[in-house]
Amino acid sequence: MGGGSDAAPRRSRHHDAVSTSTVLVILGTFLASAVEMVEALTIVLGVGIVRGWRSTLIGVGAALIVLAALVAALGPALSVVPIETLRLIVGALLLAFGLQWLRKAILRSSGYTPLHDEDAAFRRHREEAAKAGRDERAGLDWYSFTVAFKGVLLEGLEVVFIVISFGSAQNKIGLAAAGAAAAFVLVVGAGVLARGPLEQVPENTIKYAVGLLLTSFGCFWGAEGAGVDWPGDELSLLGVIAFIGASSFMLVRVLRRRRVAPAPVEAPA
Amino acid sequence: MKYIRSFALFWWNFIVGDDWRVAAGLAVALGLTYLLTHEGVNAWWLLPVAIVLLLAGSLWRETRRAS
């Protein structure tokens, strides 16, 4: 009897925890995908508006085919890896990847690196597209094709990496993909309506949140894959997010105080 | 050879990024966590602490260069 009364709260807590992690997986993939897609959209718009849409859109399509092939190849391949091993590998990769995002976000927030300016990036892409010479290959404007292809492929690779790592470690690839798909619909829809770069999107804040989520998920899964039994089960993920979040905010405050003079540098792409 | 080099460089930048010491520190922290848990110590606290220390160290190096 006693076991039964112990089991009920355990089930309830686990159910709550599963809901929490599900929400965080969708939120993480949605936000990460949205910022990458905003950057890809800026590149595509910058080239397409100046040089025409046919070759640009063929470049986008070719990149999407390569990305879809990657997902189709990697998704089933990962399903044969034992979940503990998968979480250790995915956790380690997410940690390394997420800490890069968080580090850059802290440097931006503390003023050591300039904030990313989507409008400035758009103007730069337009200028470069206007200056580039005409090179016809396979009936395509080769500049438009290659810039759109590379832009979408490189930004898309990060989306694929996040969707596959989040989805496979939590055994929720469908939900992770749904988060990315929602971001795609929203960003492309907003881009078509605005007919310009989405400079109103609070990209730097979103990147901070994504860096925090990637690092926290990487920490949680990496430790679990190494054999750790988290106190509070999956609810401790919220504790990890709170701890790393609070520490990173403290780092921002310390760096802001330490900064002597901001360096006025041109924002990177 | 040039393509293999570019391919390797791309993945190095993608995964490791600007500060290889962070990636190396993470590998050590994960290895220690694995060893401790398999010795019977539930070292759930190790990785979060290591992450914050590695992040602080990397930022300190970067901002010292920039100052």
DSSP secondary structure string, A199-267? Answer: TTS-HHHHHHHHHHHHHHHHHHHHHHHTT---TTGGGHHHHHHHHHHHHHHHHHHHHHHH--S----PP
- Supply the Cα-derived Rg of chain A in whole angstroms: 21
A5 pLDDT exceeds 50? Answer: no
Question: B12 CA to chain A: closest CA distance, Å?
Answer: 11
Would the CB atoms of A244 and B52 count as touching at under 8 Å? yes
Any chain A CB within 8 A of the CB of B61?
no
Three-state DSSP class for residue B18:
coil
Contacts of A87 (CB under 8 A, 6+ apart): A169, A221, A222, A224, A225
The three-point CA angle A174-A207-A159 to 5° equals 35
The answer to whether the Cβ–Cβ distance between B47 and A102 falls below 8 Å is: no
Which H or E run contains A136? strand A136-137
Nearest CA in chain A to B18: A100
Q: Which of A102, A215, A223 is nearest residue B33 as measured by Cβ atoms?
A: A223
Report how far apart, in Å, the C-alpha atoms of B26 and of each of A93, A218, A237 are. Answer: 10, 11, 18
Query: What would the pLDDT profile of A32-49 be if each residue is shown by its tens digit?
Result: 889 889 889 888 988 888
| A59, A147 contact by CB (below 8 A) | yes
pLDDT at A11: 41
Which residue of chain B is at minimal alpha-carbon distance from A236? B44
- The answer to whether residue A174 is domain-embedded is yes
Model pLDDT for residues A200-219, shown as the tens digit of each residue: 677 788 889 989 999 999 99
Tell me phi and psi for residue A140, to 5 degrees.
-120, 150
Strand (E) or helix (H) holding A137:
strand A136-137
Q: Write the pLDDT tens digit of every residue in B30-39.
A: 999 999 999 9
Provide the mean pLDDT of chain B. Answer: 90
Question: For residue B52, what pLDDT is reported?
Answer: 96
Domain for residue A12, yes or no?
no
Within 8 A of A106 by CB-CB distance, chain B residues are 55, 59
Query: Helix, strand, or coil here: B67?
Result: coil
> Which residues in B lie closer than 8 A to residue A158 (C-beta atoms)?
14
pLDDT score for A140: 84
Contact criterion met (CB below 8 Å) for A209 and A124: no
Higher pLDDT, A164 or B49: B49
Range of the domain at A148: 22-258
Residue A216, pLDDT score:
94
Q: Which residues of chain A are within 8 Å of residue B19 when distances are taken between CB atoms?
A: 103
What distance in Å separates residue B5's CA from the closest CA in chain A? 17
Interface size, chain A vs chain B, as Cβ–Cβ contacts under 8 Å: 103
Task: Let me know if residue A122 belongs to a domain.
Answer: yes
In the block, residue with structure tokens 């990847």: A97
Q: Per the domain annotation, does A161 fall within a domain?
A: yes
A14 pLDDT tier (thresholds 50, 70, 90): very low
Lowest-confidence range among A9-18, A48-57, A101-110? A9-18
Percentage of residues in chain A having pLDDT higher than 70:
87
User: What chain B residue is nearest to A211 in terms of C-alpha separation?
Assistant: B55
Which of A97, A244, A258 is closest, CB to CB, to B48? A244
Q: Is the pLDDT of residue A4 over 60?
A: no
Closest CA to A118 of A262, A236, A269, A9: A269
Mutate to test the interface with A, among B59, B62, B65 (most CBs of A within 10 A): B59
- The minimum CA-CA distance between B55 and chain A, rounded to whole Å, is 7
User: What is the number of structural domains in chain A?
Assistant: 1
Nearest chain A CA: its distance from B15 CA (Å): 5
Chain A positions touching B30 (Cβ under 8 A) are: 88, 91-92, 95, 222-223, 226
Q: Do A258 and B63 touch (CB under 8 A)?
A: yes
pTM above 0.90, yes or no: no
Identify the closest residue of chain B to A265 by CA–CA distance. B66
